Amino acid sequence: MPEILSFCAAVLGAFMAVPLLALRRQRAANFWLGMCVLSLSLLSFASTPAYRAHPEWFGLLDWPVAAVGPFYHCYVRSMIGLGNGRRQAWHFLPLLVELGLLIRHSVFDIPFDFRPFFIACEVMATGYAVAAVIRLQIYRRQLLQNYSSLKNRDLTWLSWLSLLVVAIMLNWVLAALFHGVWDWLLLLNRVLILYFVGWFGLRHAGVFVPGADFTQPGVAADSPPVESACPPAAEAESPKYARSGMNQELAATIGQRLADRVSRHQDFLESDLTLADLAERIGTSPQLLSQYLNDRLGLNFFDYINNLRVTQVQRLMADPANRAATLLDLAFAAGFNSKSTFNTAFRKIGGMTPSEWRRLNLPAAEPIR
C-alpha cells in the first residue's frame, strides 16, 4: 500500500507541476506553486522502493527537502501581492547548503549523516507553513480595512490549504522521527493535498489565471481636503492621536463629513466601494479615515459599510412596495454582491437571519422568500 501511494503522489504531482509552470506568465504565483508541487512529486518518487534500491542515486530526488517550505512561502507571498524579489533569495540558503553537502557526499565520497539535516529542514518547512497561515490572517485583516466587498479578493481557500500544509509538514517531521504509521499517513496526505489543489483549481479558474483587476480608479472629491496638522499643544488629545496626526478637531471634521456624505450620496450602494474611494470623496486620506472608523466607531471599513447596507435592506423590507421582492433582490439593491456576505452581515448585526427578521418585524409582508 505505501508503495502504491508513493507512486500515485509522485505521478499526480508531476502531472500537475507541468501545466502550473507553463502558466507562470499568466500568474507569477503559478511558478512557485508548480515548484512546490514538483518538490512533493520528487520527494514521493524518493519514497518508492525502486529509488531506495539504488543508494548511488541518493541526492537526485532528495534535494527538495530544503526547498518545499521556501517554495510555498513564495507562493503565498505572490498570491497576496507582495511579490518575490532578490531579498527573498536568502530563504533558499538551506538548499544551497544541502546541494553542497550532497556534492561533497556523492562526488567526493565524503560521508555525512543527512538525517539530522533533513529533520531540521522538515521543521523549517513546518515553520514556513505556519508563517503562511499568519500572513494570510494579516492579509484578510487588511482587506477588511480597505474593501467593502471581498469578492475575488478573499483567499479563504488558500488559508485552508495552508492549514493542510501545516498538518502535512508536522506529519513529515513525525514520520522522520518515528516512521511506521506516520510514513503511511504522510504519503496519503500528499495525495490528498495534490488532489485538493488540482480539484479546486479546475473548479475555480481564478486560482491559476488572474481574474478581476483590483486597481482603484480615481474619483474626484467633492470636499476640500481635511488638514491633518496637529492642533495647538494646549488642546487635549490622546497620545495615540498625537502620534498619527489625528486630533479631536480633525476626528470631528472627518466624522461630520462622513455622515453628510453617506446621508446625501449613499456611497454604500456601490457594491465594490473601497476605503480609498470614500476617503477621497470626503477629502481625507485612507489612513485617517481608517483610523477614525477603528478608533471612534470601533469598526473596520468592511463592517462599517455592510452595517449601512443591512440598515438599507431593513428599510427596503419595511417599504410596502417591496413586499413581493426577494431578500436577495433587496440585498443587491442595498449594495451587497454576495449572498453569503449578506447573510453573515445581517446575522451579525440583527442577531437573526434576514428571513426571521422579516417575519418578526413585518408580519404582513408576504410572500417571505
pLDDT of residue 205: 65
Which of 88-92, 215-219, 261-265 has the weakest average pLDDT? Answer: 215-219
Which of 236-240, 260-264, 341-345 has the weakest average pLDDT? Answer: 236-240
pLDDT of residue 323: 84
Residue 253 CA, chain-centre distance (Å), reads 34
Backbone angles phi, psi at 179, to 5 degrees: 60, -145
Average pLDDT (351-363) is: 84
Average pLDDT (305-320) is: 93
Q: Which residues contact 254 (CB under 8 A, 6 or more apart)?
A: 226, 282, 284, 288, 289, 292
Residue 220 has pLDDT above 60, yes or no: no
Domains of the chain: 2-207 (1.20.1070), 224-265+277-298 (no CATH), 299-369 (1.10.10)
Confidence of residue 187 (pLDDT cuts 50, 70, 90): confident
Is the pTM higher than 0.85? The answer reads: no
Residues 165, 161: Cα–Cα separation, whole Å: 6
Average pLDDT (179-183) is: 89
Share of the chain above pLDDT 90, in %: 57
**pLDDT per position as a tens digit, 43-86:** 999 988 888 888 888 888 999 999 999 999 999 999 999 989 88
**Cell 521556501 appears where?**
70
Residues 325, 55: Cα–Cα separation, whole Å: 72
Which helix or strand (DSSP H or E) is residue 327 part of?
helix 327-333
CB of 263 within 8 A of CB of 243?
no
Using CA atoms, how far residue 176 sits from 24, 107, 119, 182, 232, in Å, is 33, 26, 7, 8, 65
pLDDT of residue 95: 95
C-alpha radius of gyration, the chain, whole number = 27
